[in-house]
DNA sequence: ATGAAAGTTCAAGTGAGGTTTAGGTCAAGG
DNA sequence: CCTTGACCTAAACCTCACTTGAACTTTCAT
């Protein structure tokens, strides 16, 4: 154990590259927790650097903060997560990446035949396939994407 | 030419699967244009089905509406775009998909070594790499992502 | 000719993911 | 002790991509 096992919010921000305000926001969302000094300032564990790193990586893979929180909640309570813990909760990310790659490769292939030929018809070529979570991120009509059963566009 | 070369907003919505309100929104943003009936109702060209399809596909690939507008602006003015036109403006999408696939594959590889071993340090493994546009979608601190020069996290 | 369905505009609301501001408090060095 | 920079809270604000609602109007099939 070092002298300073606890770090300030500013240091956590510097170490992870996220803004101080963002860390407070994550805390409010329950993604990280902080101890407090007598004066009320936050003190984080060094292990929280990993935790925030995980948030950043998972975000890049298209998970919403709420989903990330659900993953993080599966880390062992009470003790600092170790390598095996992180490996466990990262397995799901691996599957997600594989799915995304597969989806993109499908899209890539279709782009050749389909937009290349000028048809660009959703129904015909299914180029516009749902199930690509990463692409649904952000505001807007989430339900439109990924909630399409059978009949979509057909260029008439 | 058919009898009905022009379609209503409702039909365009049905054909593409996007909400009527979204199409009005796209029109306001300059992504599509409409003729008007004497009574003021919008009438779209059949070719606009392709155009809206393109918007949807490009969105899935992580382009913002403004970027999509810029791409669409490169279609020939005055005449209905043909297959070659669509092929031309779709080429850039292909490159983007390739880049995304490459980025994900890199991430996938690192996830094994890096999270697997528990280090999860941003600086050390560069797992958290910028340049993955698709992941930056949605509102929020775009500038945080993709605007990081050298020093990022290092797990102490 | 009529009634329902579909269309119109404009303004305001939504939700994700934060940032910014205002008005203070805390901690560390000199 | 005193300053200075980092920290605190609460609430307001921001962008993006739309949706929703109110209050009417147009279109179309019968």
pLDDT tens per residue, chain B (156 residues)?
444 589 999 999 999 999 999 999 999 999 999 999 999 999 999 999 989 989 998 888 889 999 999 999 999 988 888 888 888 888 888 888 898 898 888 888 877 666 555 555 544 444 444 433 333 333 222 222 222 222 333 444
* pTM of the model as a whole: 0.78
Does residue A105 approach strand C to less than 7 Å at its CB? no
Q: Does B48 touch chain A (CB under 8 A)?
A: no
Q: Which of B60, B116, B153 sits opposite A53 (nearest CB)?
A: B153
Q: Which of A60, A82, A120 sits opposite B135 (nearest CB)?
A: A60
CA atoms in the 13 A half-sphere facing the CB of A28:
6
A129 or A29, which is more confident? A29
Nearest chain B Cα distance for residue A44, angstroms = 13
Q: What is the average per-residue pLDDT within A132-154?
A: 31
- Residue A98 has which token pair? 């594989």
Instruction: Name the residue in chain B with its Cα closest to that of A109.
Output: B94
Q: Which nucleotides of D are covered by protein (CB under 7 A)?
A: 6-9, 14-20, 25-27
Q: Which of A52, A101, A117 sits opposite B105 (nearest CB)?
A: A101
Q: Does B73 touch chain A (CB under 8 A)?
A: no
Nucleotide nearest to B24 (CA to C1'): D18
CATH number for domain A3-108, candidates 3.40.50.10130, 1.10.1660.10, 3.80.10.10, 1.10.357.10 = 1.10.1660.10
Put simply, the answer to whether B17 touches A107 (Cβ < 8 Å) is no
Q: How confident is the model at residue A122 (pLDDT cuts 50, 70, 90)?
A: very low
Q: Does A53 touch chain B (CB under 8 A)?
A: yes
Give me the pLDDT at residue A117, please. 57
β partners of residue A44: A7
- CA B103 to chain centroid, in Å, comes to 17
> Domains of chain B: which residue ranges?
3-108, 111-156
- Residue A115 has which token pair? 């937009």
Q: Which of A15, A101, A115 sits opposite B154 (nearest CB)?
A: A15
Nearest chain A Cα distance for residue B49, angstroms = 7
Q: What is the 3-state secondary structure (H, E, C) of chain A?
A: CCCCCEECHHHHHHHHCCCHHHHHHHHHCCCCCCEECCCCCEEEECHHHHHHHHHHHHHHCCCCHHHHHHHHCCCCCCCCCCHHHHHHHHHHHHHHHHHHHHHHHHHHHHHHHHHCCCCCCHHHHCCCCCCCHHHHCCCCCCCCCCCCCCCCCCCC
pLDDT above 90: residue A42: yes
Q: How confident is the model at residue A130 (pLDDT cuts 50, 70, 90)?
A: very low
Put simply, the answer to whether A128 touches B60 (Cβ < 8 Å) is yes
Mutation target to probe the B interface, by most B beta carbons within 10 A, among A119, A138, A145 is: A138
Put simply, the answer to whether A122 touches B56 (Cβ < 8 Å) is yes
Q: Does A94 touch chain B (CB under 8 A)?
A: yes
B115 by DSSP, 3-state: which?
Answer: helix
């Amino acid at each position: 154990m070092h002298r300073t096992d606890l770090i300030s919010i500013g240091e956590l921000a510097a170490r992870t590259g996220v803004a101080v305000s963002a860390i407070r926001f994550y805390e409010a969302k329950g993604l990280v927790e902080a101890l407090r000094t007598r004066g009320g300032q936050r003190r984080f564990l060094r292990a929280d650097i990993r935790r925030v790193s995980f948030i950043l990586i998972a975000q890049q893979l298209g998970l919403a903060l709420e989903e990330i929180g659900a993953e993080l909640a599966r880390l062992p309570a009470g003790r600092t997560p170790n390598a095996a813990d992180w490996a466990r909760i990262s397995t799901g990310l691996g599957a997600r990446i594989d799915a995304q790659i597969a989806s993109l490769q499908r899209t890539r292939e279709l782009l050749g035949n389909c937009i290349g030929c000028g048809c660009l018809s959703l129904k015909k070529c299914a180029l516009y396939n749902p199930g690509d979570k990463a692409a649904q991120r952000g505001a807007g009509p989430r339900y439109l994407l990924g909630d399409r059963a059978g009949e979509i566009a057909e260029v008439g």
